A = this chain, B = another copy of it.
Amino acid sequence: MKEFKPPFRILLGPGPSDVDPRVLKAMTQPLVSHLDPVFVGVMDDIQKGLQDIFKVKNPVTLPISGTGTAGMETAMVNMIEPGDDVLVCSAGVFADRMVQIARRARAQVQTIEAPSGEAVTPGQLMRAIEKKRPKVVAFVHVETSTGVAQPIEALAELLREDDIVTIVDAVASLAGQPLDVSANGLDFVYSGSQKCLSCPPGLAPVTLSPNAVQRLRSRKVPVQSWYLDLSMLEQYWGSERRYHHTAPISMNYALREALRIIEEEGLAARFARHRDNHRALVAGLEAIGLEMYAKREVRARTVNTVKVPDGIDDAGVRSKLLERYGIEILGGLTDLKGKIWRIGLMGYSSQRKNVLLLINGLEEILSEMGFSSTSGAGERAAVGSYERVS
């Protein structure tokens, strides 16, 4: 085996995002063990940082030792007991994954569906919970497969009562797009380290409201996963510091540094940066004649979806972007394959220079392929003028 020397990429796909060099450097610190007082200090810092970005005081706030999907599974297996009625607001691949995982936790799963590119409506949710009141309602905040952000405040408003536990997937939103977990009364929110947190993939932050903790503590049967059992994990991450499994030390160093960077930038400034770069991207894409996929009023600010023009080779465009500029964007999943591009502007990847480079690269490649914009050139002006208008 030779030494590994990866090419330099600009990661503008739906995740992972580019990682701040400071975060990469944090992983070179020598290891201490998972029960070392020094590591306990790291754990304290991480929990405080996560509480700040989730906007909670929940004591049970910690990173699961796995990727975002492990966070999703943690939510399902801890909150569901066999036979429980679970309602999933289904509007994309990741909500479908929730359905599959909930079924494997032996839930009775109902779904309400939104047309692709749109969000579930509060009316749909209200009718569904009136028809059959579920024990758990789950939805994805920013659906990475469609670029749609669910109307979290309006949905959460209907789910305030303690008999329903609300699970929210914030994998593609946490620290990139406003999300106030406590103010919205959300019970179990999970995320991933590799998107707006701009840390490598491998950790899944979760937070549990008092209601979710109560649900956990009143379980009749043990959580089916030992590895993801929060009744034990909370003893390792709580004041007992009781050994459960060997935490991924270096990944936690990385997460601590990523949270420190967020603290320095400030959440409000970070949200504004994500919003501005999202708007600049949309302006630029539209200026070169492309059409956004997700409806304007439900468009996420972190993962952007744009239609592949008729007659244009989806994969051909992406591989040229990669070859010429080292830029990665991704195509659609399942039935959206070949139909959309997914462009992430998250964390360290959310930079104005990345937007400009992508728009210009796309225009160049598309025009070589015979695509002619209806609105003509001027995308630099569009990207630039956006800021003055907003």
- Residues of A at the B interface (CB closer than 8 Å) are 1, 3-9, 11, 13, 15-16, 18-19, 21, 24-36, 38, 42, 45, 49, 65-70, 73, 97, 100-101, 104-105, 192, 194, 200-202, 222-227, 243-251, 253-254, 256-257, 259-260, 263, 328, 330, 333
Contact = CB atoms under 8 A, between A and B. Distances in A.
B246 A194 contact: yes
A31 B11 contact: yes
A3 B257 CA distance: 8
A319 to B, nearest CB: 10
A225 B73 contact: yes
A223 B105 CA distance: 10
A8 B31 contact: no
Given A4-B256, A25-B28, A28-B28, A200 B73 contact: no
Nearest to A243: B333
Contacts of A19: 30-31, 250
A235 to B, nearest CB: 15
State the main secondary structure of chain A at its contact with B: loop
Contacts of A200: 27, 31, 248-251
Contact of A224 (B194, B224, B249, B256): B224
Contacts of A192: 246
Nearest to A198: B31
Contacts of A97: 226
A29 B5 contact: yes
A24 B250 CA distance: 9
A290 to B, nearest CB: 22
Sort A-B residue pairs by CB-CB distance and give the 6 closest, nearest first. Answer: A202-B248, A200-B250, A69-B245, A27-B27, A1-B260, A24-B28
Given A1-B263, A9-B33, A19-B31, A67 B65 contact: yes
Given A38-B7, A226-B69, A28 B29 contact: no
Given A6-B29, A200-B249, A202-B248, 15 more contacts: A4-B42, A4-B256, A11-B33, A18-B31, A24-B28, A31-B200, A33-B328, A36-B328, A66-B66, A70-B227, A104-B226, A194-B249, A200-B250, A201-B246, A224-B225
A52 to B, nearest CB: 10
A206 to B, nearest CB: 14
A67 B192 CA distance: 17
A13 to B, nearest CB: 6
Contacts of A24: 27-30, 250
B1 A223 contact: no
